[in-house]
Structure 1
Amino acid sequence: MIMSGNGDGTERQFHLELPLTIREAWLQASSCLCASGVEDGQHHAELLLRHVLGWGRAAYLSRLQELLPEAAAAAYEAMIARRSLGEPTQYIMGEAYFYGLRFEVSADVLIPRPETELLVEAVLEEAKLLYGERASLTAADIGTGSGAIACTIAYERPEWQLVAVDISLGALQMAQHNAALLHVDERIEWLEGDLIMPLQGRVPVDILISNPPYIPESDMRELQREVRDFEPHTALVGGADGLDPYRRMMGMLAYLSERPRMVAFELGQGQAREVAALVEQAGYTEKIRIVQDLAGIERHVIGIRPL
């Protein structure tokens, strides 16, 4: 018998009484997740069931009336129990998709978000405008986490070199693993340390990109339990107002032999104007671009400094 969350801190039972068709198992799991307070429980129940079975969606939809194998049922019960307690589906499956690429994830790293794909897209656009189509550039990903930004840029731009920095050794190891899976590891240098400080004394980078911790401390208790209780707080909290990492990075630029020509940041709702001001004050006055996400939230700031 698998114990699972009841949405109010208590536990409830979840057990699949075989034989069941795949559709029947999905219906029971969906009901359990919805009762446990999981948003879009039907979708998550399907994702986990497909993961257990190792099927794509087309195969899954065409075989709903087949009986669920006993071994798959036991694994599915355990996954649904974990999900009902709030653990993110991506951690349970050990994977997430970003920019169409598969990344392995664990509790050492944030789960890559769709809005960060827009940051990568904007950086590639601005670099093309600034340097041309096939320029050989060096970009640094600060707070690389799973390596989603660094690995994706390396994958999309084979002529670029990347530097990936994180203060967490566990995160760096996960990022390196993902780079190897995507066959881009030979073009990425890995540095452990605090924000951009590891770049001191090194060959200058052309582009500095970061999706740093930006959630104000007082907002943590209001986050979804999936984020608040399971994702690493060091990658989430950005000080009292969420802006500490941006202030610190702008201050650290003085320690570099040469400032990057372009900086690009992801940020939280309502922070764009303040971050843009910090970037401008740091000398990035040739161009300041604020990028909205798909919900219309000002989510990214890109700054370019004059030569």
Structure 2
Amino acid sequence: MSAETRKTLRDAWSQTKARLEQAGVEEAAADAELLLLHLLGKSKAELLRDWREPWPAGAGLDAAWEELLRRRGSGEPVQYVTGEQYFYGRRFEVGPQVLIPRPETELLAEAVLLEADRQWPAGSGAVPRVLDVGTGSGALSVTLAAERPTWRVTASDLSADALGMAKRNAAALLGAEERIRFVQGDLLEPFMAEAGGEPIDVLVSNPPYIASGEMPDLQREVRDFEPHLALDGGDDGLTPYRRMAEQLGRLPQLPQIVAWEVGAGQAEDVAALLREAADWERIRFVVDYAGINRHVIAVR
């Protein structure tokens, strides 16, 4: 029996971890596990159960494995390699046409659910109209529609490719793409009064917020693979917020809740833009797992 035949799944994980470390992958151990789970179609519990089982032979598995390792070793994010990312407990399809949903954005979804439930309590019969601007994979819009099935949710994006992926995620996770209305357009332009837009009660967005000059210094996985359209926020990273704040007054009505994700150190500036745009009962920040003011929530 050859050494290759005797290789166990644990051996494969260990060898992969070392190979990814040599390629400069920061989370080599976790990514090696994710790639194994993806290739073998196993759950984590099943992988641990089968840790000492031999590496499967044949069926082109070795070639497929080498291709996965090549892609991840080149810097391609593991989420793009596997084609999936979990968000709020649901599996979302992701690819290079959309930003990879981050754990901190789950806190934005939680904040919106909390604030909206205060304004439109369950059983009141009131149904908020929710707009997710720059939906990408649909992580926020699909999550809100799934958590609150009665809400009227609209998702927009400038990218037609991103909207296509968001529609597929809506169909897979909600059972019907039609549960969400999808609109292609730039920020709030399709929803302004002069464009025939309908009133919006809740405006949520995770827009691009990286300053243009900082783009070359981003981690290679982000800089070389994630869509710059979803990353580059202009000279100071605040261009999308500035534009949306200016557009708020041109909507059919001012939203009762505005909830935006922001970059590190941007929360105060974004809050100031909102204060200039309208009078709010309160504006608060949501702190992320790293202690950064990551979300700005304005309520009236």
Normalising by the smaller structure, the TM-score range is: over 0.9
**Residue 174 (structure 2) pairs with residue 193 (structure 1):** no
- CA–CA distance in 2 between the matches of 1:77 and 1:284? 57
**1:140 partner letter:** L
Percent of aligned pairs with the same amino acid: 53
Deviation at 1:131, TM superposition (A): 2.2
Match of 1:278 among 253, 273, 278: 273
Q: Please name the residue that 1:160 is paired with.
A: 151
Structure 1 segments (4+ residues) deviating >4 Å:
16-19
Deviation at 1:18, TM superposition (A): 4.7
- CA–CA distance in 2 between the matches of 1:65 and 1:75? 21
Q: Please name the residue that 1:21 is paired with.
A: 8
**Residue 164 (structure 2) pairs with residue 177 (structure 1):** no
Q: Please name the residue that 2:21 is paired with.
A: 34
- CA–CA distance in 2 between the matches of 1:92 and 1:139? 32
Contact 2:203 2:259 in 1 (8 A): yes
Deviation at 1:19, TM superposition (A): 4.8
Q: Structure 2 matches for 1:86-105, cutoff 5 A?
A: 86-105=75-94
- CA–CA distance in 2 between the matches of 1:27 and 1:285? 54
- CA–CA distance in 2 between the matches of 1:289 and 1:19? 58
Structure 2: which 5+ runs fail to align? none
Q: Please name the residue that 2:63 is paired with.
A: 74
Q: Structure 2 matches for 1:1-307, cutoff 5 A?
A: 17-70=4-57, 71-134=60-123, 135-182=126-173, 183-200=175-192, 201-305=196-300
- CA–CA distance in 2 between the matches of 1:163 and 1:175? 11
**2:212 partner letter:** E
Deviation at 1:142, TM superposition (A): 0.1
SS at match of 1:231: coil
SS at match of 2:264: coil
Deviation at 1:254, TM superposition (A): 2.6
Structure 1: which 5+ runs fail to align? 1-15
- CA–CA distance in 1 between the matches of 2:94 and 2:225? 12
**2:10 partner letter:** R
**1:224 partner letter:** Q
* Deviation readout 1:141-161 (Å, 9 max, x if unpaired): 000000000000000001101
SS at match of 1:61: helix
**1:118 partner letter:** L
Superposition TM-score, scaled by structure 2 size: 0.94
Deviation at 1:86, TM superposition (A): 0.4
* Deviation readout 1:74-93 (Å, 9 max, x if unpaired): 21111011101100000000
Deviation at 1:58, TM superposition (A): 0.9
